[in-house]
């Protein structure tokens, strides 16, 4: 793996922290302050879907062979979730460019789409890492999660007085993945046939 590719992967993870955590966190508080139900609902859905990305980081810490597959699925689902809802899309289109909250939200949706495609393209360049994340050539994909590992390890030791290890991270990641998958299947079977692409953000009246 060349230096440029290594740098690109590292930057992608660093930028994703801003795009997938920092900006949506700010937008969530901003939408609550502005009492914008459409953006609030969009961010509420986003946080539920984006849990899979954080699960994939646990799996990367645990060096689970298919962790990179989960990472790409998570970014794909995140992208779908921010564009999927007809009622939210219609509401956002009603606001002009001068309304900064919705304009920022629209720009953020495009940047999330870009980071998702970027992850997929970079992953395809290292196709073997989809099933062999522990190989030497895939080590670069494990490095960005090392800082998170150190943080969790320190917190785990502080609160529980125990050592947080890679096998524990893998176990927690797989359990979380199972629960997440069950929840997603439940939504697909029960809620999606009923509501379709309607997020129901305006059930209590539009702002």
What value, to the nearest 5°, has the Cα angle with vertex 71 and ends 39 and 13? 80
Cα angle, residue 184 at apex, residues 106 and 32 outer, rounded to 5°: 40
Residue-number span of the structural domain to which 74 is assigned: 3-195
Surface-to-core class of residue 38, CB atoms within 10 Å of its CB (0-12 exposed, 13-18 middle, 19+ buried): buried
Nearest-5° angle of CA 130, CA 45, CA 142? 25
Residue 205 in any domain: the answer is no
Mean pLDDT of 67-88: 94
pLDDT single digits (tens) 128-162? 888 888 888 788 888 777 777 777 777 777 677 67
Which of 11-15, 47-51, 128-132 has maximum average pLDDT?
47-51
Ranked by mean pLDDT, the top range of 31-45, 118-132, 193-207 is 31-45
Check: CB of residue 52 under 8 Å from CB of residue 73.
Answer: yes
Residue count (the chain): 207
Residue 207 forms part of a structural domain = no
Asked if residue 203 belongs to a domain, the reply is no
Domain-embedded: residue 64? yes
Domain annotation covers residue 200: no
Q: Is residue 137 part of a domain?
A: yes
**147 vs 153: CA distance, rounded Å:** 10
Counting the structural domains of the chain, the total is: 1
In whole numbers, what is the pLDDT of the chain averaged over residues?
A: 86
Average pLDDT over residues 46-65: 92
Report the percentage of the chain scoring pLDDT > 70: 91
Ramachandran category for residue 205: left, alpha or beta (phi over 0 → left; psi -120 to 50 → alpha):
left
Q: In a 3-state reduction of DSSP, which class is residue 206?
A: coil
Give CA separation, 196 vs 53, 133, 207, in Å. Answer: 24, 37, 22
In a domain, 21, yes or no: yes
**196 three-state secondary structure:** coil
Cα Rg, the chain, nearest whole Å: 19
201 within domain boundaries: no
CA 16 to chain centre: 9
Can you tell me the distance from the alpha carbon of 107 to that of 186, in angstroms, rounded to the nearest whole number? 31
**Spatial distance between the Cα atoms of 69 and 119, rounded to a whole number of angstroms:** 11
Q: Rounded to an integer, what distance in angstroms lies between the CA atom of residue 27 and that of residue 111?
A: 14
């Amino acid at each position: 793996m060349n230096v440029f590719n290594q740098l690109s992967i590292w930057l992608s993870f660093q930028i994703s922290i801003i795009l997938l955590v920092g900006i949506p966190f700010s937008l969530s508080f901003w939408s609550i302050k502005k009492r914008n139900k459409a953006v609030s609902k969009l961010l509420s859905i986003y946080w539920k879907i984006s849990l899979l990305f954080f699960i994939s980081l646990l799996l990367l810490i645990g060096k689970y062979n298919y962790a990179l597959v989960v990472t790409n699925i998570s970014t794909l689902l995140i992208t779908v979730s921010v564009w999927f809802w007809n009622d939210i899309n219609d509401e956002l289109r009603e606001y002009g460019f001068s309304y900064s909250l919705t304009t920022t939200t629209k720009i953020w949706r495009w940047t999330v789409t870009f980071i998702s495609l970027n992850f997929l393209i970079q992953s395809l360049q290292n196709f073997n890492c989809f099933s062999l994340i522990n190989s030497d050539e895939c080590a670069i994909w494990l490095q960005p999660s090392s800082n998170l590992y150190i943080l969790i390890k320190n917190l785990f030791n502080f609160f529980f007085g125990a050592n947080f290890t890679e096998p524990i991270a893998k176990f927690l990641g797989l359990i979380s993945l199972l629960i997440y998958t069950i929840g997603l299947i439940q939504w697909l079977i029960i809620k999606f046939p009923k509501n379709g692409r309607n997020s129901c953000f305006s059930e209590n009246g539009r702002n």
